Each structure stands twice: as C-alpha cells, then as structure tokens.
Amino acid sequence: MRFDNLYSHDFARLAVGVPLCRVADPAFNAQQTITLLRQAAAEGAAVVAFPELGLSAYTCDDLFHQRALLDGCEAALAAVLAASADLPVVAVVGLPLRVEQRLFNCAVVLQRGRILGVVPKTFLPNYGEFYEARQFCSGEEATVDTLTLLGQAVPFGSRQIFTADDLPLLRLHVEICEDVWTPIPPSSFAALAGATVLLNLSASNVVVGKAGYRRQLVSQQSARCLAAYVYSSAGAGESTTDLAWDGQALVCENGELLAESERFQRRSQLVTADVDLERLARERMRQTSFGQSVRLHAALLAGFRRQAFTLGLDREQPLALRRRVERFPYVPADHGRRDERCQEVYSIQVQGLTQRLASSGIQKLVVGISGGLDSTHALLVAARAMDALGLPRTNIIGVTMPGFATGERTRAQALRLMAAVGCEAREIDIRPSCLQMLQDIGHPHRDEHPVYDITFENVQAGERTNHLFRLANLSGGLVLGTGDLSELALGWCTYGVGDHMSHYNVNASVPKTLIQHLVRWVADTHQLGAGTDTQVLLDILDTEISPELIPGSLQSTEATVGAYALQDFNLFYTLRHGYAPAKIAFLARHAWQDGYALAEIKRVLRIFVQRFFKGSQFKRSCVPNAPKVGSGGSLSPRGDWRAPSDSEAAVWLADLDRIPDEHA
C-alpha cells in the first residue's frame, strides 16, 4: 500500500449523487444515476448514495401502483446493476419494490454486479404534505427476510450492516428519509451494532428554514452515533405540483459538516468527502458510554445481519486526501471563531485561578517573568484574575531573574511587561546563588571552566524556582506556574525544583501555538485596558523562543525539539485521537504541503515519539493542579493522560519507520 493513498490510513471517500430526474421515467433516471456512479468510481469513492425513490422520482403519487412504472423501475435497476459490474464503488439507489404482493419504499445496495441487500423504509410519513402510507408498507410489516431480485437471492430488511472485508472499519447502514426524523432513528441502533457510515436516501421537499434544520439533524445524528452520516436529497426534475426541491446533499462526521451540495441547481451533482474511519472507531472505544449503550440494547442489536463485500480499490496509486486538515488543530482558522476561542480560553484559566485563590484565602501571586511567551501569558491571566476578584494588580509580584545568558532584550521586555500590567515588579540577580551552588557541588564552572552542561543549565532553572517559592512564603502568595502543554509533552522543563513545579499552573493544558494566538489577541483587542503598552506583547511574540541558559549562544528551543507548529500537530493527533506516527505524518504532509517536506515532518515526529513516549512521562506523572482548557486534552495524570513512567517507544518508532522520506 502506498503511503500517499488515503485508503492506506483508514480514510474512505464517500459520495452523494443528486441526479437530474424525470418523474416516472426510470430509463432516464437510470442513465443519470449511472453517469454519477461512474464519476464516483473515477474519483476513488468507496460508496455513493442516491436519492429516495430516485429511479422513479419521489413525486409519482398513485402512479406507484401502476405496473408499467414498477416494471420500468426494475429494468432501470438492472441497467444500474450492469453498469456497476466493473466498478469497485458501492452504490445505494432508491426505487419502489413489490415484495409478497405489497409495495415497499426501498434502498438497494449493490456493487460489481451483485445486489448486497435491500433495505425498506421503516417510518412512513403520513402528515402535512406526505401521504406515503397510501402507497407503501413499512419495512416492519415485512414477512420475509430474503427475496429474489433480478435473478439474485437478496437479504431484505432494515437491520442490515454491509461490511468491507478489505477496509474493516467501513461498515454501512442504510435508512430512508423520515427514519432519521424520528425520536430513535434506526441508524442509532445500527451504530451501536457497529455501523460506522450511516446512509440516508431522502427526497425531502424544501420549505423556508428546512435546509438549516437538516444540517443540524444530520450533524447531530452523526455526533450522537459517533459516525459518518451521508444524506441525499431529491433535486431538479421532481414534480412541483405542490412542492419544491432543493437537492441538498450532506456528509457529516461526528458532528462536523464535511461537504454539502449546491442547492437549487438544474443539473446533476456529485458531492464527495473523505471520512476518517479510525477517528470514529477511536471515539467509540474511548467513550465508555457508547459501550454501555451497546450492552443496554444487546438483545435488539443481536438481530442485525452482516453482509460482506470486497471493495477491491487500487491502493497502489496515489490518492490525495480531500479534506481540510488544520495546520494548527488547537487554533481555529476562522478569525471570528479564533477570537471566541481566545476569549473562552482566558475565561477558563481565569476561573480556575480565581477559584484557587478564593478557596485558599490567598490574595497574592508570585510569577517569574522571563520576557518570553509563556510567562507573559501567565501574567496576563493573573491580571485578569485580580480584576475579577476586585483586587489590585499590585497583589501580583512579578519577578525577573537574569542569569548567565539572559539577553538584554528579554530582560527589558520583562520590565516593560510588568509595567504595562501594573503589577509589583522585582528583579533578582540569580548569578551569585547559582555560583554558590556550582561551587558547593564541585561543578567545573567554579574554576571558571566554560562547561555549559545540563547541570549548569538546571542550576539556573532551579534557583529561579527556589527564589519564587521562598518569596511566596515571605509574601503569603501562591507561585503561579507558566509552563505550557507543548513543553510538558516534550519534557522540556526542569524536573522538581525547576519550571516543572508551582503551586498552580494556568498554562498546563494550553499548547504553545495557542498561547501565541492568545497573546496576540490580548494585544489586538486591548484587553489590558486603553492606553496600555501593547507593543511589548508584539515584541515578545517576535522574540526567538529560548531558555537563555548558555552564555555566548542564542539557544533556539525549536532547533532542539523541533518546530512547535509540527510538535503541537503531533501532540493533538497523538493525545486526542491516538493515531500512529505514519498516519500523523500523512495528515501533516497534507496540512503543510507548502510548508514542510515529508523528511522534515518525519524527523520532527521522531523527536516527538522519543521524548513523549520514552523520556518524559515521569515529569507528567507529578504535575501541579491546572485547569483543563480544551477538548484536545491535557497531560495531567488526574485527567486525560495516565501512562507508565518507564514505558518504551519501540512500537511507535517501528511505525514511524513506515514513513518514506518522499511519497512512495
């Protein structure tokens, strides 16, 4: 299997066809359907769904009881079936079918000249403009579970799941129009029985406001069922005697709208979307309430039958992903949503901090200010917390602590920032105490040898934290932690008496890329108050991320641990979705097509795997309290992430080795 083929990573391309139709002209409708079926196959789709009663048209009314029309529909089905003989795509078409002297509104599932099954509609609307019970019977009234159709013995019934043996996570269930509008749709039980892709063959006339309601309905059903939901709809050509038709087709995945047709078009349309089957399976595995629902309805679910088929898709050719993958999964791309997200993140952090202060009875905070990004953000949160509690910002003691390699730029930024916030500002030179420590432990630097090893670096980090805790004791305050989620993931913090520790940490579940946007949002929206120096925030954003611990060298953090843009991407898909490295690299390559080469993505991902799985968990196993901010997860051992401190990274590194340096 090729790395750059979406089917190699448990994606599936789903399609919805909205053909131009003619009422009571099955031959014409079959040809329109066949054209879209072939287009779907050419585009690499695994499944394509067509509208309810699409081979006859939905608006035939009492013509459905005419033998000529019913015979014509079966002939049209035969034409579609014949056209499918050399196509791997599964097609689901709608037509009226006679079964045991009764008429059913049916969906026929077919592939490669074989009818996999027939699904009758369960709920027949007979209110308002709908009179389906006049022509059809409900599938619940069927007296047989197999039928002979076009010379094939075919399973018949609503409780069927169609499974691809060469794409095991692709499991299809079909329901028809009104079925999804009911309190408990058939697809709800199908999802509990294992269906991951729910298909709805619908006609659904349009009235004002209905399109928005359909989006909500389909989106919510996909979210509740932790599934993909494919919704078709009748379009141009249906009778407008009393109704109108907009041809709205939708594809949703776990509550997210992936694709939608253009409404009110007088032409045939094919809409495609690539759904992430692994994401759906992972969510079902993670959400224990889904499994509890399976147990609760076990007796009913036992009645589902499974029909197997082989897709036979070509996985040796490239097939690029047609799906938007955000470069910054923690940060909304839309400016409006981004501002809303920033506001909410700040509110969560402020709420957590104000509650901790109120419950402890402590009214002062001590914050180490480096002039860099994370401590800036923590100070901004602290300022808003003081405002919310009605306390002066001078209750925040900001401390900048220059060491052996502190740059004049960051020192000046720290002083400007504290002035802009209006907190109490202090400066403590830690070099004398660091020299004493180096002297006490016998480090070569005591004799002025330029040995800048990890001990030399951590002595400085430890002295800063030690000063903050003792100052907190003296002033009756809490030490506010500043380290972020990205640093915790990579173990980029000094354990224990270092930046690893604090009394409370507001940043622990906020990744670096989101902190960058939060600080910029504060500057752009003047959250600190009118007339405040916000330029200092922009200057901090433009400063190289560095621990500033080695003299004579501008240490670049990203040169050591990799670009945070990529590492936050790796973290999100590891922590939130549990993906293996090869799939993460596939997604990253798609997201960063004009940003990072695959070789660089692989290199940075290797750093992540080694640091996250092998070398850093012992630090995460004992972190201070911190509020969880986003659904992307936290690394608290009391929350989203519990892991052994002495695990190996071998299986992740082995999977990483599947990634080529270039597409192959």
What pLDDT does 336 receive? 87
The pTM of the full predicted model, rounded to 2 decimals, is: 0.94
Using alpha carbons, list the distances in angstroms from residue 490 to 77, 236, 485, 587, 606. 58, 55, 9, 20, 11
**Is residue 497 a contact partner of residue 465, using CB atoms and an 8 Å limit?**
yes
- Is 60 assigned a catalytic role? no
Catalytic residue among 106, 177, 225, 423: 177
Question: Residue 504 — φ and ψ, nearest 5°?
Answer: -160, 140
397's enclosing H/E stretch is: strand 396-400
Burial of 171 (0-12, 13-18, 19+ CB in 10 A): buried
User: DSSP code of 185?
Assistant: -
Each residue's pLDDT tens digit, 273-283: 999 999 999 99
* pLDDT at residue 530, rounded to an integer: 74
Catalytic pick from 21, 52, 132, 238? 52
**Residue 52 annotated to the active site:** yes
What distance in Å separates the CA atoms of residue 119 and residue 132, rounded to the nearest whole number?
Answer: 16
Strands 171-176, 160-164: pairing is antiparallel
Q: Please give the mean pLDDT across all residues of the chain.
A: 95
In DSSP terms, 480 is beta-bridged to: 504
User: Which letter, b or e, does each residue of 330-369 get, where b requires 16 or more Cβ atoms within 10 Å of its Cβ?
Assistant: bbbeeeeebeebbeebbebbbebbbebbeeeebebbbbbb
Tokens of 339: 């501002």
Percent of the chain topping pLDDT 70: 100
Q: What is the per-residue pLDDT for 664? A: 45
Q: Identify the pLDDT of residue 552.
A: 86
410 three-state secondary structure: helix
Specify the pLDDT at position 351. 97
Catalytic residue from among 73, 121, 548, 619: 121
Spatial distance between the Cα atoms of 442 and 439, rounded to a whole number of angstroms: 5
pLDDT tens across 463-494, in order? Answer: 999 999 999 999 999 999 999 999 999 999 99
463 part of the active site = no
Give the range among 53-62, 287-296, 374-383, 438-447 with minimum mean pLDDT: 438-447
Residue 531 has pLDDT above 80, yes or no: no
pLDDT on residue 98 = 97
CB-based contact 518:381 (threshold 8 Å):
no
The answer to whether the CB of 499 falls within 8 A of the CB of 465 is: yes
SS3 172: strand
CB atoms within 10 A of CB 659: 21
The mean pLDDT value for 420-431 works out to 97
Rg of the chain, C-alpha, whole Å: 31
Q: Which helix (H) or strand (E) holds 250?
A: strand 250-253
What is the band of 529 on the pLDDT scale with cuts at 50, 70, 90? confident
Question: Token digits for 18?
Answer: 């909205």
Contact of 580 with 570, CB cutoff 8 Å:
no
- The residue whose two tokens read 């759906």 is 280
Confidence of residue 335 (pLDDT cuts 50, 70, 90): confident
Token duo for residue 123: 């709920």
Question: Across residues 372-395, what is the average pLDDT?
Answer: 97
List the structure tokens of 165.
């043996």
Residues 588 and 571 sit within 8 Å (Cβ to Cβ): no
Instruction: For residues 408 and 253, give the distance between their C-alpha atoms in angstroms, rounded to a whole number.
Output: 51
Angle at 464 between CA 460 and CA 469, to 5 degrees: 145
Closest by CA to 47, choosing from 262, 233, 311, 323, is 311
List the one residue out of 41, 116, 24 whose CA is nearest residue 76: 24
The tally of CA atoms less than 13 A away on the side-chain side of residue 658 is 17
- The 10s digit of each residue's pLDDT in 542-572 is 999 999 999 988 899 999 999 999 999 999 9
- Alpha-carbon torsion (235, 237, 239, 241), positive or negative: positive
pLDDT tier at 663, thresholds 50, 70, 90: low
- 128-153: per-residue pLDDT in tens? 889 999 999 999 999 999 999 999 99
In percent, how much of the chain has pLDDT > 90? Answer: 93
Q: What is the pLDDT of residues 620-638, one digit of tens each?
A: 999 999 999 988 889 999 9
Nearest to 510 by CA among 406, 366, 633: 633
